[in-house]
Amino acid sequence: MNKLLLLVGFIVVLGTQANEYLDFNVTEIDRIEELEFGFSKYSSNLNPLLVGLTLIRGADSGAVCLDGTLPGYHLHRGHGSGANSWLIQLEGGGWCNNVRTCVYRKKTRRGSSNYMEKQLQFTGILSDKAQENPDFFNWNRVKLRYCDGASFSGDGQNQAAQLQFRGERIWRAAIADLKAKGMRYANQALLSGCSAGGLAAILRCDEFRNLFPGSTKVKCLSDAGLFLDTADVSGGRTIRNLYNGVVNFQSVKNNLPRMCTNHLDPTSCFFPQNLISQMKTPLFIVNAAYDTWQIQSSIAPTSADPSGFWHDCRLNHAKCTPSQIRFLQGFRDQMLRVVRGFSMSRHNGLFINSCFAHCQTERQDTWFADDSPVIRKKAVAIAVGDWYFDRAEVKLVDCPYPCDKSCHNLVFR
């Protein structure tokens, strides 16, 4: 019989095919917080590693959050064999695409360092414990805070609304600060990110590779960053419209990879599917085939479902009708088509599990634990480690829902 554990506003069902019940009646940014962090934010670990916030005071001119405050990161130093190895984790948290959403955002931790936590728990891929993070526990591990709303890619401003779009400058300032603290001597480096940070890891991957000499082992990891250019349930293009707003409102165009903008429009070049097969640097993609954020905000948002037909399914996959499940299977099929060419390179890696989830690398329960999600008996942490250290070629794609009983599915109330 499954055990129930009440954790600050939602329930985690521990056991086979675990479901996590989250509050849907919150703001978009708060819901993103719950989607991304779950166990990390409300960890049952009695002795979590807490890492303090460092503001980038020597930042390049103009490297500021939406409200003009200084950007920041959390750094936990490596030791032993990991003393010269660096993992940079780019924080996620959605986007803002107009005055209204960006003005709201600048009053939150996603737009101002004034609202950021002074300490964060480091769990999952950021954990300092070998039993929780077997391959990266003793590396220098950094979490770069996300306070621009354009996946660290904008460079502009809106003076009338007192908004600064300086994600690209934040990225450069953080990298310069970390290089001065020893990252320039790295013999191994991994750029990773979750959600909007997973998209940023793809956008910045080849640039990150070029920061180091050829002798440095450099790879990238995108967790829940494979946002698809797909139609919503009404036939509209909800996510393309969102991205078009982000790219134009935050002046992202000039900071997108030239390999893409040379032949596609800037909005198309904000979608990973138009980037991943052209990248030069090895990339590992971790993604749920039924990504919860994409179901709620791209595929079946309330704006595309005025009748409420998708309401229950959007909150709980167990309440989806057979026709809705077929629609979601089509989304999975599209995802697999997108990664087909990418997966042909022996340098790239995949872990696409048939779960209703979003972000699995920073959460201890989904990264590496006794009941972590697995594909062919391999947890995310082991899959990523095997790929990074060239222990094995890793191309793990799950069978379609509902075959996987190891999922930690998200269910909203």
Q: Which two tokens stand for residue 235?
A: 């036939």
In degrees and rounded to multiples of 5, residue 145 shows phi and psi of: -70, 145
Q: Which two tokens stand for residue 164?
A: 């600064």
- Residue 194 pairs in a beta bridge with 223
Catalytic residue among 76, 317, 358, 408: 358
Catalytic residue among 67, 291, 386, 398: 291
As a whole number of angstroms, the distance between CA 143 and CA 166 comes to 18
Bond into 402 cis (ω within 30): yes
Q: Does 67 qualify as catalytic in the annotation? A: no
CA angle 41, 47, 51 (to 5 degrees): 60
Q: Which two tokens stand for residue 377?
A: 């008996």
As a whole number of angstroms, the distance between CA 189 and CA 208 comes to 9
As a whole number of angstroms, the distance between CA 48 and CA 36 comes to 18
Whole-angstrom CA distances from 338 to 72, 158, 204, 220 are 34, 35, 20, 18
State the number of CA atoms in the 13 A half-sphere of 78 facing the CB.
26
Cβ atoms within 10 Å, residue 323: 10
DSSP for 114-170 reads: GGS-SEEEE-GGG-S-TTTSTTTTTSEEEEE---SSSTT---EEETTTTEEE-HHHH
Q: Does 155 qualify as catalytic in the annotation? A: no
Tell me which amino acid residue 66 is: L
Q: Cα dihedral sign for 313, 319, 323, 327? A: positive
As a whole number of angstroms, the distance between CA 165 and CA 154 comes to 5
Q: Which residues contact 114 (CB under 8 A, 6 or more apart)?
A: 67, 69
Q: Does 291 qualify as catalytic in the annotation? A: yes
Catalytic residue among 127, 192, 195, 354: 195
Q: Cα dihedral sign for 367, 371, 374, 379? A: positive
Alpha helices in 210-339 (DSSP H): 238-249, 258-261, 292-294, 311-315, 322-338
The residues that are catalytic are 195, 291, 358
